[in-house]
Structure 1
Amino acid sequence: MSTPEQNKELVLRAFDTLFHKRDYAAAAELWSEDYIQHSRHIAPGRDGLFDLVRSLPPTLRHEHQLAVADGDYVILYGRYSGTGQTASVVADVVRIDNGKLAEHWDVWEDEATRTESASDSPMFGDTFPPER
């Protein structure tokens, strides 16, 4: 059984492998063949996720600001950008099983500019994105 710290490291390595390196063979070793996807914008299974990433521009970036683990669950608080659309701030929830990413949920929101923010606080990091 892996520790929460090992689970965080696994999820961070998996996200880097898929979203930045785009190494699908290596990513397939990190995601379960029986991967369950709960996101409304991603088709089922590991292939649904990989196909989505293949369809996105190579400028796609995932930055994480916080990683929290509790047992077999890891939550990454991060931002997806570089797609030519508004950046999104996301909480990705991943369940680990047998050393692989087995299940995923997310909470997804467009990143607000200063003008759009009722709170006057950035959603990610210490600065607002440029006005649109």
Structure 2
Amino acid sequence: MRGKIDNKAFVLEAFDTLFNKRDYEAAKRYWSPNYLQHSAHIAPGREGLFDLVKALPSELHYENALALAEGDYVILHGRFSGNGQPRALIAADIVRMADGVLAEHWDVLQDEASKAESKSGLPMFKDHFPE
């Protein structure tokens, strides 16, 4: 049994391992075999998530701007670029940890807006608009 883990650091490392490094074998250490997926665009379970990532372009990249943790929950605000779509996706990912691994996931996704499209005049991610 592992000692106490930093949930934020663990989830960020998990996302980097899966989405950026595409190390599926290593990613199994982070995601529960009984992983519950609430996202409407991802098939059930850990394999549904891994299969989605395998089907995405090799240029896929996850960049995080904010990570918050409260008990067993971690919320990430990030950008998925190189996803094969005309725009990057800005994501709020909510993960529930159990037994030291990612056990459950929800997300909210939207296309990243350009400066010309932003009615607020502010970027959706970090402090700059996409190029």
Alignment TM-score, normalising by the size of structure 1? 0.93
Residue 90 of structure 1 is matched in structure 2 by 91
Structure 2: runs of 5 or more not aligned? none
Percent of residue pairs bearing the same amino acid type: 61
Residue 75 of structure 1 is matched in structure 2 by 75
Residue 117 of structure 1 is matched in structure 2 by 118
Residue 126 of structure 1 is matched in structure 2 by 127
Residue 27 of structure 2 is matched in structure 1 by 27
Which of structure 1's runs of 4+ aligned residues deviate more than 6 A? none
**Alignment deviations for residues 56-86 of structure 1 (CA, whole Å, 9 cap, x no partner):** 0110000000000000000000000012311
Does the Cα contact within 8 Å between 2:56 and 2:84 map onto a contact in 1?
no
- Distance in 2, Cα, partners of 1:88 & 1:30: 23
Give, in angstroms, the shift of residue 2 of structure 1.
3.7
Give, in angstroms, the shift of residue 128 of structure 1.
1.1
- 1:59 is matched by which residue type in structure 2? E
Aligned length: 128
- Distance in 1, Cα, partners of 2:39 & 2:15: 16
Q: CA RMSD in A?
A: 1.1
- Distance in 2, Cα, partners of 1:75 & 1:28: 20
- Distance in 2, Cα, partners of 1:63 & 1:94: 16
